[in-house]
Amino acid sequence: MSTDTGIDEAVEQTLLMTSEDEFVPEETGRRAKAPRTRGETIRLIIAHVCIYLAALVFVAPLIYAFFSALKPNEEMFSMPPTLVGSQLKWGNFAEVFEYGPFWTYIGNSLFVAVAGTVVVLIVSTTAGYAFGRLRWRGRDAVFVLFLATLMVPAEVLVIPMFQVMQWFGWVNTYQALILPFAFTAFGTFLMRQFFRGIPFELDEAARVDGSGPVRTFLQIILPLSKSAVAVLAVFTFLSFWNSYLWPLIVTVDYAQLGTLPVGLASFSGLTGTRWDLQMAAAIISMIPTTILVIVLQKHLVKGIAMAGLGGR
């Protein structure tokens, strides 16, 4: 009997402790939370209204572009302008792929953007680690010179880079579309700032355990930098995906190596411009980048918030 009584008492105490652990903090939290004042409520409402209005301003052109892609071509510039045409021509999206080698444009842009992003991530993470975590003579001076290249507009470098591509024999090749813009200082600067925000004690602990710089980078620093890598990946992918001037100059055979921005210009010809197909093609070209941003949204918010905090 005494044993059963002891077990029952222990169970009751456990249940009481569990109930206290579960409900006391919640009640305490509710009591500690003071009700909003009238002024705070008004400011909160105004802030939400401003956010929704700003979102509407940014989304409105996309909405108009989408419905314009469904209009007949002769109604694109009708007066007064209307959001929806006399009929919804969903066939415009299918006709885009019949008007020219649109699948080739998408494939080329996807290959160039993915390959360029991979190269930029490899170069930027390793260079950022060298500038941010390793100690070597002349590091800061070299970094300042490297960072100074950001002040040079890309348009100024177009002719010299084209001459270099001719010298290598890379005109009208994938190498010319990828490599010239794969070694920019932006990615290195972004990764360096993030790496410097990681405690340096991790490097010292890894050194004590016998890890060298390469192993420390691959097994410790890089896994902690997923958010910054995601931010750089999205920015780089968008840069390659939307690039127009350089592919237009360095590509000769557009039907074979043309990218999507260059391909959008093919809807303008001697017979006029198919604005309905051009708008439909523009909407289609936004799908991959939109999916990428949605998939990496969590890492993007975290990475953008933390990338600029390392200033040591």
Q: Do 195 and 50 sit in the same domain of this protein?
A: no
pLDDT digits (tens, 9 = 90+) for 179-198: 988 888 888 998 888 888 88
Residue 46 counted as domain residue: yes
CATH of the domain at 244: 1.10.3720.10
Q: Do 159 and 262 sit in the same domain of this protein?
A: yes
Q: Do 116 and 7 sit in the same domain of this protein?
A: no
Q: Do 52 and 120 sit in the same domain of this protein?
A: no
Q: What is the pTM of this model?
A: 0.77
Which structural domain, as residue segments, surrounds residue 11?
A: 2-62
Sign of CA dihedral 198, 199, 201, 204: positive
Quote the percentage of the chain above a pLDDT of 90.
18
pLDDT digits (tens, 9 = 90+) for 233-288: 988 999 999 998 899 899 888 888 889 888 887 777 644 677 888 888 889 988 88
User: Residue 2: pLDDT above 60?
Assistant: no
Q: Do 23 and 144 sit in the same domain of this protein?
A: no
Q: Do 58 and 98 sit in the same domain of this protein?
A: no
Sequence letter at residue 65: A
Q: Do 124 and 228 sit in the same domain of this protein?
A: yes
Domain total for the chain? 2
Residue 84 counted as domain residue: no
Rounded to the nearest 10 degrees, the angle between the axes of helix 139-148 and helix 185-196 is 140
* Coil, helix or strand at residue 273: strand
Residue 260 counted as domain residue: yes
Residue 291 counted as domain residue: yes
Instruction: Return the structure tokens found at 216.
Output: 């420390």
Residue 210 counted as domain residue: yes
Task: Read off the pLDDT of each residue in 33-62 and give the average, rounded to a whole number.
Answer: 86
303 alpha carbon, distance to own chain's centre: 10
* 278 neighbors 259 (Cβ within 8 angstroms): no
The span from the first CA to the last CA of the chain, in angstroms, equals 68
